[in-house]
A and B are shown apart, each in its own frame.
Chain A
Amino acid sequence: MTERMLEVHALARHFSVRGGILPRRRPVLRAVDGVSFEVGRGQTFGLVGESGCGKSTLGRSILRLLEPTRGRVVLDGAEITGLDSAALKRQRKDMQMIFQDPFASLSPRRTVRQMLQEPLALHVPGSPARRVARVRELLDIVGLGQSALDRYPHEFSGGQRQRIGIARALAVEPKLVVADEPVSALDVSVQSQVLNLLADLQTEFGLSFVFISHDLAVVQHISHFIGVMYLGKLVETAPVDRIYAMPAHPYTRALLDAVPVAGGTRRIRRRALDGEPPSPLNPPGGCPFHTRCPEAMPICSRRVPRTIELEEHGRSHQVRCHLHDPDISQ
């Protein structure tokens, strides 16, 4: 394994839900419930799952945009969780975020120059002239012309805005970037442009990415490792080539089956998964997936599956499923 850039240990983020007129016991929503994984330097961890599975909450908890309820986050050897606000502010230089909605993620009344200078002014000492030079360099890096400098967000298309968002994230030369669905709001023909840009930037600057997406097809080409999330838990993590070729968890298989295939063999009967994810407020006992799992066994509703290591050639492939538990399946 390459050098570790990010370590996430048993991270959890719970929300207590407001509601009800009577002050009864407040239900707790376990949006992220004990998630652990690592990302190597210059590598991408693709985080996949359906809406409401907690992937965005996880991304924000890693950056402490949301305070984690439990667990540890270690960035390049330095623990992020537990930093006081002044230290956290300094640490923000190393970790940045790219957002989903290119229309909501840029301040509508600020020019590109103002937006890109802001992080520099805060984190990078230097003269104003040097800052402007850096802003120009950033525009060049993300493939926008210098004419973009004094323009406002509404003057750009979705793809261009996403490039501005990427430039803002890169301004302070972070080590880690969490990208939350960065291409899902873009037109198809623009999506791959942005994906290629992110891949190029990774090679050029040795960035580590946590790339969040609902779409297995999008993460395949940019990720080195993939984690599949279901109801706040990682159910499978594996190297990218393994997970597409040999998915171990029934949920991963169902997700892969559900992706529509353009061209190729048409109208193959897919094993469409029944139903929808249960409410995270009231997750089923045992394995959270057993209510929809085509291969569920009696034990699945009773016991929470432990993490099984299906190591191959020294590369970690973990799955939380009784099917792979040697103590249970045989």
Chain B
Amino acid sequence: MSNNDALLEVENLCVEFGDRRGAVRAVDRISFEVEPGRTLGIVGESGCGKSTTSLAIMGLLPRPAGRITAGAIRLSGTELAGLPENRMRRIRGAEMSMIFQEPMTALNPVYTIGAQMSAVVRRHAGLSRRAARRRALEMLERVGIPLAQRRLAEYPHELSGGMRQRVMIAMALSCRPRLLIADEPTTALDVTTQAQVLEQIKALQRDFDTAVVLITHDLGVVAETCDEVVVMYCGRMVERAPVEALFSAPRHRYTEGLIQAIPKIRTRRLTRLPVVPGSVPDLSELPPGCCFAARCAHADTHCLRRQPALERMGPSRVACFHPADAEPVR
């Protein structure tokens, strides 16, 4: 499992959220690695645990409700799970940073863009005030913000949504982190802006050889930006595959259904769209067997009773008793 080239290694990560009435396992034995310069996509629907996974990596799980109960998170060999907060703070921003879905809430409304960007650089890269300012300006120009010099003196509310997200990207990458976690970075943006922002992330990734973990619900975004994909469902990893394999030969029945069901522009207009019946079960009452069984056309009694383990199938790994295009396992 261990991969010497990997920058980030996540191994059997489990995260639970608990209150007085008991705990739910939001992330259940997730494993993946990301190498420098590569992009890993984590896809799934709301409540599948993709955002929780990213917060766990950043050490930003809401306390005290959320906690890592098992597994390891290693950033270039350093174990992050269980690291004291003061050491995490030094790593966050410097070695890994994160951009969020809603950039407005992630920027402080009372400081100028320049002040916020310089503060980050000065703290983590130890640059002088002037050098920090220069770095901020350079980063803004790199993410394609016109009139960057003027933007430095502006406040977050003076920028449009797309501009704010660019500022977030510039800020996140200003310390040249080796890992960038992007949690639905384009979901709040329009399609034309989304295309620009994704383009920008890719360009910066090439320049700095950054590893990117992209969290999204949008398979279209995955197809265009990721090298490898983890598909999550109910906190579990149901499939992990190189992006070409995922789309050309999806193995898990959920992945297959999801790819068919996404609204996409087709050459022929359909009167009925393919659907995945039903909806996602509640995490607090998951069935004993495969969590997708209730919605799966291929499920049998075996699926209802036992949890499938992740098994290799060509370039993919899949947790399914009846994967697509395969002889039945058993």
- Asked whether B271 lies within 8 Å of A259 as measured between CB atoms, the reply is no
Provide the bound-state CA to CA distance between A266 and B246, in Å.
Answer: 12
A221 and B191 contact, CB distance less than 8 A = no
- A274 to B192 Cα, complex, angstroms: 8
A262: interface (CB < 8 Å): yes
| Alpha-carbon gap, A277 to B192, bound state (A) | 10
Quick check: is A270 within 8 A (CB to CB) of the other chain?
Answer: yes
B1 within 8 A of A: no
Cβ-defined contact, A50 with B273, below 8 A? no
User: A273 interface residue, CB < 8 Å from B?
Assistant: yes
Given the interface pairs A191-B263, A273-B192, the reply to whether A221 lies near B271 with Cβ below 8 Å is yes
Interface segment, one of A12-20, A193-201, A204-212, A303-311: A193-201
B244 within 8 A of partner (CB) = yes
Query: Does chain A have a CB within 8 A of B222?
Result: yes
* CB 8 Å contact bits of B232-276 with A (1 = contact, 0 = none): 000000000001100110000000011101111110011111111
Question: Which B residues are CB-close (under 8 A) to A158?
Answer: 46
Stretch at the interface among A3-11, A70-78, A124-132, A182-190: A182-190
| A195-B263 in contact (CB<8A) | yes
Would you call B88 an interface residue if the criterion is a C-beta within 8 Å of the partner chain's C-beta atoms? Answer: no
B257 x A189 contact (CB < 8 A): yes
Does B190 sit within 8 A of A, measured CB to CB?
yes
The answer to whether A221 touches B270 (Cβ under 8 A) is yes
Any B CB within 8 A of the CB of A267: yes
How many contacting A-B pairs (Cβ < 8 A)?
141
Are A255 and B247 in contact, with the CB atoms below 8 A?
no
Q: How large is the interface on A (under 10, 10 to 19, 20 to 34, 35 or more residues)?
A: 35 or more
Contact B269 A259 (CB under 8 A): no
Q: In the bound complex, how far is the Cα of B248 from the Cα of A270, in angstroms?
A: 21
Q: Which residue of B has the minimal Cβ distance to A157?
A: B279
User: Given the complex of chains A and B, what is the CA–CA distance between A204 and B264 in angstroms?
Assistant: 25
- Contact: B224 with A254, CB < 8 Å? no
Nearest neighbor of B233 in chain A, beta-carbon distance = A189
CA distance A260 to B219 in the complex (A): 8
Chain B residue at smallest Cβ distance from A214: B190
Q: Is A51 an interface residue (CB 8 A)?
A: yes
Contact of B273 among A192, A260, A261, A273 (CB under 8 A): A192
Instruction: From A261, A266, A275, A277, give the contact of B244 (CB < 8 A).
Output: A266
> With A188-B45, A196-B272, A272-B199 given, is the CB distance from A262 to B262 under 8 Å?
yes
The reply to whether B247 and A263 contact each other, CB–CB distance below 8 Å, is: yes
Report B-chain residues with C-beta under 8 Å of the C-beta of A199.
271-272
C-alpha spacing A256/B264, complex, angstroms: 11
Smallest Cβ distance from A283 to chain B, in angstroms? 15
Residues of chain A lying within 8 A (CB to CB) of residue B269: 220-221, 240-241, 244
CB < 8 Å: which of B161, B224, B243, B275 contacts A189?
B275
Name B146-195 residues within 8 Å CB distance of A. Answer: 146, 160-163, 190-195
Check A297 for interface membership: any CB of B closer than 8 A: no
User: In angstroms, how far is the closest chain A Cβ from the Cβ of B75?
Assistant: 28
Kindly list the 8 A-B residue pairs having the minimum CB-CB distance in the complex, ordered from nearest. A260-B220, A263-B247, A192-B273, A189-B276, A50-B190, A187-B45, A258-B191, A262-B219
Which residue numbers of A lie inside 8 Å of B, CB to CB?
A: 50-51, 157-160, 183, 187-193, 195-196, 199, 214-218, 220-221, 240-241, 244, 254-264, 266-267, 270, 272-277
Given contacts A217-B264, A218-B263, 6 further A-B contacts (CB under 8 A): A188-B261, A189-B261, A190-B279, A215-B263, A262-B219, A266-B224
A-B contacts, 14 of them at CB < 8 A, read: A50-B190, A187-B45, A188-B217, A188-B219, A189-B261, A189-B275, A191-B261, A214-B190, A257-B195, A259-B220, A259-B264, A260-B194, A274-B196, A276-B163
